[in-house]
Amino acid sequence: MRALLLILLLHIPLLGLAETLQSYHPHAGREQPLVAVVGENRMTELVDFMVPFGLLSRAGVAKVVALSTRKGPLQLMPALKVEAQATTAEFEQDYPEGADYLIVPAVHHSDDPILTAFVADQAARGATIVGICDGVLVLGHAGLLHGRRATGHWYSKAQREEDFPDTRWQVNRRYVVDGKLVTSSGVSAALPVSLALVQAIAGEAKAIVFAREIGLAGWSAEHQSQTFAFGPGGYLTAVANYLAFWRHETLTLALRPGLDEASLALRADAWARSFRTDVLAVGDGPVRTRHGLVLLPDASMGGKSALPDSNAPPGQVLDETLDDIVARYGGATATFVAAQLEYPRR
């Protein structure tokens, strides 16, 4: 009996680490779930917003709608801007029963009253709320974190613990599932979280096939967040790159119809975090991405260097892009970028 009890005690902590989203159960007479991805117009994280939108649209397992809190352009950070497909107010009018899943990226104004009210209302209507990276701060300001398990970007740990002290903050998890509340670690966790949603909606077999299609090895919640930090070397790289203005360059992204949202976001986000590069969208006018977002140009076509292209599937874009950054700016800059993205390089 003692041996059995010891075995159980040893395995209880491991059971607590299993992060599996609840399987989707249809409601409101829908044939497939409704997923909304919401951004705040003034500044929303690029990968957090576009990767879940692009991947879930591509998987074909749900109706996916991109929202902004207000009419007009949605400025993404650290680069690009888009027109969302609807405002939160329009979404509420069109879907009074609410979304099945609401994805909340990191935003600069995490206490924006329109955004926090919308998130709280969708949760009250039964939606599963998914905070990507420091989208968890929006969830906190919406009153959803009291006594809940959650995580966020490694860099915000002290802020999160101070602002929301009654939340049970988790470390070393790529994402954390607490009932209908899902939160993730830093930026690049948008990839495995999107696959976890595909699994919840369409089953493991579909998720495995889709993961292979996009070049992702898996979507496990295992993660070593405590290994991520800038350290003296990272801060030195940031300062050196920022101050060496004569080495700064602008890379242009030529807008063309049908761009893949996930691959584009991962490439542009990584390059724009080097502290040596500005990414500028150029074109004669707005264009539609593969799944219906409208990309807006920052300038007309110019003669500056082009953003390095990639034929890699979304799950491999970051590895390829970081290799390109090593070749162009050196290993220290690539390591600094990977730390910001909280990306475990292969």
Q: Using an 8 Å Cβ cutoff, are 252 and 309 in contact?
A: no
For residue 27, the one-letter residue type is H
More confident residue, 5 or 213: 213
**How confident is residue 281, by pLDDT bands cut at 50, 70 and 90?**
very high
| pLDDT more than 90, % of the chain | 84
Please report, for the chain, the start and end positions of each structural domain, with discontinuous segments joined by +.
20-213, 231-341
Confidence grade of residue 223 (pLDDT, cut at 50, 70, 90): very high
Neighbouring C-beta atoms of residue 205, cutoff 10 Å: 9
At residue 18, the pLDDT reads: 66
Residue 13 has pLDDT above 50, yes or no: no
pLDDT per residue as tens digits for the range 50-90? 999 999 999 999 999 999 999 999 999 999 999 999 999 99
11: burial class by Cβ within 10 Å (0-12, 13-18, 19+)?
A: exposed
Nearest-angstrom CA–CA distance, 215 and 255: 24
Report the pLDDT value the prediction gives residue 310, as an integer from 0 to 100: 86
Rounded to the nearest 5°, which phi and psi values hold at 244? -80, 65
Tell me, what's the pLDDT at 10? 31
How many Cα atoms are found within 13 Å in the side-chain-facing hemisphere of 220?
8
- What percentage of the chain has pLDDT greater than the value 70? 94
Tokens 């929202």 — which residue?
67
Q: Is 87 helix (H, G, I), strand (E, B) or coil?
A: strand
Q: Go through the chain and tell me how many residues it has.
A: 346
Sort strands 81-83 and 74-77 into parallel, antiparallel or unpaired.
antiparallel
Q: What are the residues facing 128 on neighbouring strands?
A: 101
Residue 101 confidence (pLDDT) above 60 = yes
Average pLDDT over all residues of the chain: 92
Confidence of residue 309 (pLDDT cuts 50, 70, 90): confident
Whether the per-residue pLDDT at 7 is higher than 80: the answer is no
Residue 302 pLDDT grade (very low, low, confident, very high; cuts 50, 70, 90) = low
Does the pLDDT value for residue 14 go beyond 60? no
Average pLDDT in the 173-192 region? 97
pLDDT of 31 reads: 85
Q: What angle do CA 137, 56, 183 make, to 5 degrees?
A: 25
Distance, in Å, from the CA atom of 17 to the CA atom of 177, rounded to the nearest integer, reads 9
Q: Is the pTM of this model over 0.85?
A: yes
| Tokens, residue 256 | 């063309």
How far apart, in whole angstroms, are the C-alpha atoms of residue 283 and residue 301?
5
Alpha-carbon span 112 to 117, nearest angstrom = 9
Where is pLDDT greater, at 97 or 9? 97
Give the pLDDT of residue 8. Answer: 30
Please tell me which residue, 261 or 231, carries the higher pLDDT value. Answer: 261
177 against 311, higher pLDDT = 177
Task: Map tokens 């009250």 to a residue.
Answer: 124
Count of C-beta atoms within a 10 Å radius of residue 344: 15
Instruction: Report the CATH architecture of 20-213.
Output: 3-Layer(aba) Sandwich (3.40)
Assign 303 a pLDDT band (cuts: 50, 70, 90): low
Average pLDDT estimate for 99-112: 98
- For residue 113 the two structure tokens come to 């009253």
- Helical H segments across the chain, by residue range: 2-15, 46-59, 88-94, 113-124, 136-141, 157-163, 190-202, 204-213, 231-243, 261-272, 314-329, 331-341
d(CA 238, CA 68): 31
